Amino acid sequence: MIELDNVAYSYGGGELLSEISLKLAPGSFHFLTGPSGAGKTTLLKLCYGALMPTAGDVRLFDADVRGMERDDIAMVRRRVGVVHQDCQFLDHLSVSDNIALPLMVSGQDLLREDANLKELIGWVGLKSRSDALPPELSGGERQRAALARAIIMSPDVILADEPTGNVDWEMSQRLLRLLIELNRMGKTIMIATHDLALIRAAKAHVQARVLRISNRRLQLAGADL
């Protein structure tokens, strides 16, 4: 689905990532760890075409990103749901409308998708908050709304960048359960996180591969995690 082969990425004259090879197979579950500034967000962006590698090859659903036009990359991104670390919303729109934005941008019939939208909002536990505005939400509610927005287009792959970084442990567990449930539906999941306790909790319920960025390279993390 997503494959990186000997990828490097440089920024500001320095190499941030080097010799990165990774394959996200259908239905797999990955955690991506590493210290702040190691390049976790950059690696995620390479995985959905938001950044181009300075060396090596990135293939998204069997297509080389270097040969893709902007419209091609936009179409591919519909198959990849991204939960961004900063959870940006349009504050003048309701939670429901913010979640539905990808449908509107892609030109889909919102009336036809209304039942699916309501079901999704209920699934993430925001039914009672669907008419609220983003500034009225708690941190955990914002994260669940961000997850719902990321999967509204039924993507094949979900990439989550520190989705539990600003919420308490109970909400972290709730978000993790949602992501595990998506994986059981056949979705490919990769979560960037520094929370080792979250990884340990997940490994009791799902077969997850734990990767670590260290010294610009990607390594398979030890079994002690």
Question: Where are the domains positioned within the chain?
Answer: 1-79+156-225, 90-154
The number of residues making up the chain comes to 225
Beta bridge partners of residue 214, listed in sequence order: 217
Let me know: does 159 contact 80? Beta carbons within 8 Å: yes
Q: Which pLDDT score, from 0 to 100, does residue 225 have?
A: 47
Half-sphere exposure in the Cβ direction for 70 (13 Å, CA): 0
DSSP assigned state of 51 = S
pLDDT score for 45: 95
- Position 223 scores a pLDDT of 47
pTM: 0.91
> What confidence tens digit (pLDDT) does each residue in 37-72 have?
889 999 999 999 999 999 999 999 999 998 888 888
Domain 1-79+156-225 has CATH 3.40.50.300: yes
Residue 104: what pLDDT?
Answer: 85
| pLDDT at residue 72 in the model | 87
Query: What is the model's pLDDT at position 12?
Result: 81
Those residues of the chain that have pLDDT short of 70 are 222-225
Q: Which residues of 115-131 are buried (b: 16+ CB within 10 A; e: fewer)?
A: eebeebbebbebeebbe
Contact (Cβ atoms closer than 8 angstroms) between residue 190 and residue 160: yes
